[in-house]
Amino acid sequence: MSARRALTALAVVGCIALGAAHAVETEVTPADADTLAGILAGVPRARSGVLADDIATIRAVQAAVLQTAPIHRPIPHGQTREPADLVRAAAGLCYDRSRTIEKALRLLGFDVRHVFLLSTAEHSPLAALVTPGVESHAVTELETVAGWLVVDSNAPWISVDRTGRPVSMADLQDRLADVSPVPDGIYREPVWPIYGLYSRHVRFFPPFNGIPDVIGANCSAIWSADRWRGPIRERGGCYARSVAG
């Protein structure tokens, strides 16, 4: 092996190790479960395999979290934002509430993905990623018995069509006319949905040291470049925090 290839291999291994060491944990901890038991009082715990029941549970979880943190005020940067933090603050922004929504839905047995929506109305996706102040939003996508749908973290809205069927993030902007009512703002703009991106400033999750956090195992996320001005389709699973912005 040439010296150049050896250095490249070491760099790749180093990046994977660094990412694993700074991964954003997504598992529901015992402390989370205790807190969520209070938040989710009265929410059905068992999944029936019926879409209508899934939808009812999702709406109940969303409503419970919005009621827990009704004040639109962020948990400060450099502090944890787990379910117990949200309860103590009784307030939060999209990135605070979405964390608790996701853990609640995982606890109830749903497959969940965190989605960072980045507006590309005025910039290319990569330029938007590194430009401070570009509009963004944190939402949750989860799999129901009939497909994936989006759960908003600021308003009591989920992406179902007029017949009650789920609409995925990949299809949402192409089907806005079918989904009602869609909140004003970023959903109606060209966006880049980045799966697993939590922040562009690495001050949402420990260790708050400016090092990107990536789940290294099976990290093969590739976003297609064929729709730069619209939804980018996910082709893998990679959780990351960017140092940009």
What are the residue ranges spanned by the domains of the chain? 25-195
The whole-number pLDDT of residue 59 equals 97
The whole-angstrom separation of Cα 228 and Cα 231 is 7
Q: How confident is the model at residue 78 (pLDDT cuts 50, 70, 90)?
A: confident
pLDDT at 57 over 80: yes
List pLDDT tens digits, range 87-101.
999 999 999 999 999
Cα distance from N-terminal residue to C-terminal residue, the chain = 38
List pLDDT tens digits, range 6-44.
555 554 445 545 555 556 788 999 999 999 999 999 898
* CATH class in words for 25-195: alpha beta
Q: How confident is the model at residue 231 (pLDDT cuts 50, 70, 90)?
A: very low
SS3 of residue 37 by DSSP: helix
Count of C-beta atoms within a 10 Å radius of residue 31: 11
Residues 6+ apart with CB under 8 A from 53: 44, 47
pLDDT at 128 over 80: yes
The whole-number pLDDT of residue 245 equals 29
Which pTM value belongs to this model? Answer: 0.81
The dihedral through the CA atoms of 58, 40, 67, 27 has a sign that is negative
Backbone angles phi, psi at 155, to 5 degrees: -135, 155
How would you classify the pairing of strands 112-119 and 147-151?
A: unpaired
List the single range of 21-35, 86-100, 153-167, 211-225 with lowest mean pLDDT: 211-225
